[in-house]
Amino acid sequence: MKQVVAKINNPLSDLISDEVYEILFTHGLIDEKSVRDYQIRKKFKQLRSNKISAGDAIDSIREEYPYLQFDTIRKIVYQIHK
Confirm whether 64 is domain-assigned: yes
| DSSP conformation letters of the chain | -PPP-PPPP-TTTTTS-HHHHHHHHHTT---HHHHHHHHHHHHHHHHHHTT--HHHHHHHHHHH-TTS-HHHHHHHHTPPP-
Shared domain check, 48 and 12: no
Confirm whether 61 is domain-assigned: yes
Q: How many domains does the chain have?
A: 2
Confirm whether 82 is domain-assigned: no
Which tens digits make up the pLDDT trace of 18-57?
999 999 999 999 999 999 999 999 999 999 999 999 999 9
Shared domain check, 37 and 16: no
Shared domain check, 36 and 26: no
Q: What mean pLDDT is reported for the chain?
A: 90
Shared domain check, 41 and 24: no
Q: What is the pTM of this model?
A: 0.82
